[in-house]
Amino acid sequence: MYSPQLLKSLCLIAALMSTGCAPGPQIHNDTTVLPEASTTASNTTQKDITIAPLPLEEIQATSLAALATLPQQEVIPAEDDGLWSRIRAGYTIPAVDLTHYRRELEWYRRRQDFLLRVGKRAQPYLHHLMTQIEQRGMPAELALLPVVESAFQPFAYSSGRASGIWQFIPATGKHYGLRQNWWYDGRRDIEESTRAALDYLSKLHREFNDDWLLAIAAYNCGEGNVRRALSRYKGSAQHPDFWQIRKQLPRETRGYVPRLLAIAAVVAEPARYGLKLDPIADERYFQRVELDGQIDLALAASLAKISLDEIYRLNPGFNRWATDPDGPHRLQLPVERVAEFQTALAAYPREQRVHWRRHRIRSGETLGGIAHKYRTTPTVLKQANRLRGNLIRAGRNLLIPVARKSLQSYRQSADRRHQRAIKSPSSGSRQIYRVKKGDSLWSIARHKNLRISQISAWNGLNRGDPIRPGQRLTLWQTSNKTLSVVNAPTAGAERTGLTRQKLHYTVRRGDSLWRISNRFKVSIAALKSWNKLGGKRLLQPGQRIKLFVDVTASGDS
């Protein structure tokens, strides 16, 4: 029998659940990534889960403590639910006290609908993740890291330019061999990104004295931040753990590790927390099929007798309507469709796997202009037509690869996802601005008396996204031109009393303090002061730095 205190605590839980008086963090329809909460030069990621402070903390502490101390014989054992059981059996990260992740656990405990959605999204990928983790002898808890990173959304894209279920930023992705171009982004490729993520986590595990919690923290905020937190540790432990340096880490990371431990606890004993997980069969969902060249994804879907959306779900690395002409020449298909697809593909003429259109070159046309017209790239046109350079002659013909169906049919292509991300105001006049050499979102916003955030929203851009000469941007000129301003701190030779706009700039390959200072018309001394860049500390690609720049009409970044 339960004690009177335990019964009282359980009653409190029921009251809380019935009144809904303990609101938790928000999930923005599971696809919106919340604003950036940390800065790193390694693998900055933005999550679609942010744990907010809870009211009635003392009551919830009592109620959750009651749940955590239920007699063992009263805990409902987890049933055999396929892959979830396999994950539980592979847990190896040492258990920690519930108080370390109580708040995160309480959030999951009140989000049954979210857990079911995440489980459905994870279904095609989870068997592959577990197989790779087991082959490396790594903790099974890592298979749940994409829940925290992306909610298992393969097309998740953060304001820090992190992409895929493992949320790699471009620089870290390239470092771990993830190719990124117009046709293909390896950060979203399930096989490739999983390989890269486990490589990275293994490296971090070795670097931080085989401490998995420190490795996971470094995956979130970068090894530099963890090393600095360790260097500031003042206790007596020879090898401080995550909990001992937690307060020295970026705020987002302080909740990141507890969030993983909380979802692992839920998967371990869902019934203990009044939750359920839909079973996932412990069997391979997809299988790799090798190809001998490029193929239209609509044709591949037709030959495999599956939907085009399913093709993209299993092959989210492909950005366009076809596979990358330079490879990888492979597809992931449902296991049960592989044999029939291979038979149908063998009988299909190779030269017909991509449609071609003949374009007669007119006077004044350029290779780049033709590529833009047909939604392809100059490189593809040069390869298809065996051109050595960009010189073309009027009157000659070019072969252009074109999609088999209308581009609107490829709903998960980068172009279609970009169009869905664009937000337009309800009023105002629409203008098209062609990007010039040397332009930045900041300079365009300043010239047009707009906010950077407005331009980004209207064009489906995230902070740090590069723009290129010739690119067209949609701008809306509205009647309201009152823009917010901030007062920058003065530093070095900077004058006082200036009204300035605060910007966050992502360092690119080849950047230097001199180059950035020259571009934004600020002093190197100010850059160093604003970002605490002392001594010989070097800038790293992907690093985000803070700037305050003079404005005529300011806005946010």
Task: Please report, for the chain, how many H helices and E strands are present, in that order.
Answer: 22, 9
Chain-centroid distance, C-alpha 533:
28
Q: Answer whether residue 484 shows pLDDT above 50.
A: no
DSSP annotation string for 207-248: HTTT-HHHHHHHHHH-HHHHHHHHHT--SS-SS--HHHHGGG
Residue 377 confidence class, pLDDT cut points 50, 70, 90: confident
| 506 phi, psi to nearest 5 deg | -90, 120
Is 118's pLDDT higher than 70? yes
Please write the tens of the pLDDT for every residue from 250-295.
Answer: 999 999 999 999 999 999 999 999 999 999 999 999 999 999 999 9
pLDDT at 60: 42
Q: Which helix (H) or strand (E) holds 299?
A: helix 297-304
- Answer whether residue 457 shows pLDDT above 60: yes
134 catalytically annotated: no
pLDDT of the residue at 501:
64
* 477 CB neighbour count, 10 Å cutoff: 13
pLDDT at 544: 83
Find the mean pLDDT for residues 224-247. 92
> HEC states along 335-392?
HHHHHHHHHHHHCCCHHHCCEEEEEECCCCCCHHHHHHHCCCCHHHHHHHHCCCCCCC
Average pLDDT, the chain: 80
Task: Look at residue 507 and tell me whether its pLDDT is greater than 60.
Answer: yes
Q: Model pTM?
A: 0.70
Cβ atoms 128, 194 nearer than 8 A? yes
Name the helix (H) or strand (E) containing 429.
strand 429-434
Residue 342's pLDDT is what?
96
Other beta carbons within 10 angstroms of residue 331's beta carbon come to: 24
Give the active site residue among 106, 149, 223, 494: 149
The structure tokens 């500390």 sit at 537
How many Cα atoms are found within 13 Å in the side-chain-facing hemisphere of 414? 19
Is residue 32 within 8 A of residue 153, CB to CB? The reply is no
- pLDDT over threshold 70, residue 103: yes
| Structure confidence at residue 448 (pLDDT) | 83
Write the CB contacts of 114 (distance below 8 Å, at least 6 apart in sequence).
Answer: 27, 30, 108, 151
* Higher pLDDT pick, 198 / 484: 198
* 67/401: higher pLDDT: 401
Tens-digit pLDDT profile for residues 166-221: 999 999 999 999 999 989 999 999 999 999 999 999 999 999 999 999 999 999 99
Task: Tell me if 22 sits within 8 A of 56, measured CB to CB.
Answer: yes
Q: How far apart are CA 528 and CA 81, in angstroms?
A: 55
**Is pLDDT at 50 greater than 60 in this prediction?**
no
Percent of the chain's residues with pLDDT above 70:
78
Better pLDDT: 76 or 246: 246
Determine which of 39-43, 163-167, 367-371, 380-384 has the lowest per-residue pLDDT on average: 39-43
Least confident of 72-81, 392-401, 465-474, 528-537: 72-81
Supply the pLDDT for residue 426. Answer: 55
State how far the Cα of 471 lies from the Cα of 75, in Å rounded to an integer.
60
Instruction: Please compute the mean of the pLDDT values over residues 410-433 and round it to a whole number.
Output: 79
Does the pLDDT value for residue 20 go beyond 90?
no
Does the structure show a pLDDT above 80 at 1? no
Q: Give the pLDDT score at 505.
A: 82
Q: CB-based contacts of 540: which residues, under 8 Å, 6+ apart? A: 41, 171, 507
Instruction: Give the separation between CA 353 and CA 349, rounded to whole angstroms.
Output: 7
Residues 6+ apart with CB under 8 A from 480: none
53 pLDDT band, cuts 50/70/90, is very low
Domains and CATH numbers, the chain: 30-48+73-180+188-273 (1.10.530.10), 286-352 (no CATH), 357-403 (3.10.350.10), 422-477 (3.10.350.10), 486-550 (3.10.350.10)
